[in-house]
Amino acid sequence: MEYDNNNRGAIWPNKKKEKETQPDFTGSLNVGGVDHWVSAWKRKEGDGVNSPSLKFSVKPKDEQSAPAPVATPGVPADDSDIPF
């Protein structure tokens, strides 16, 4: 039986992180048969307990057919530091 990765994903520590604005974790995700890149930032020290543990940014791997990006609160708008 073949494993179905549809609507699943995974992230790993970002070993290439050089700046505070770069994600703490990177990985990939499949939603509805479309592959996406995932970036995640950990809650920073001093953030309130009601702050999310992780903040995510998701970008389709095929940028040619990608819809316009949606702003995610707390995630840098310029993701040029994402290493992929």
Question: Which amino acid type is present at position 73?
Answer: P
Higher local confidence (pLDDT), 69 or 50: 50
> Could you report the per-residue pLDDT of 12-46, keeping only the tens digit for each?
999 999 998 999 999 999 998 899 999 999 988 88
pTM listed for this prediction: 0.64
What DSSP character marks residue 31?
E
Rounded to an integer, what distance in angstroms lies between the CA atom of residue 34 and that of residue 81? Answer: 23
Q: Which residues pair with 26 in a beta bridge?
A: 12, 39
pLDDT confidence of residue 39: 94
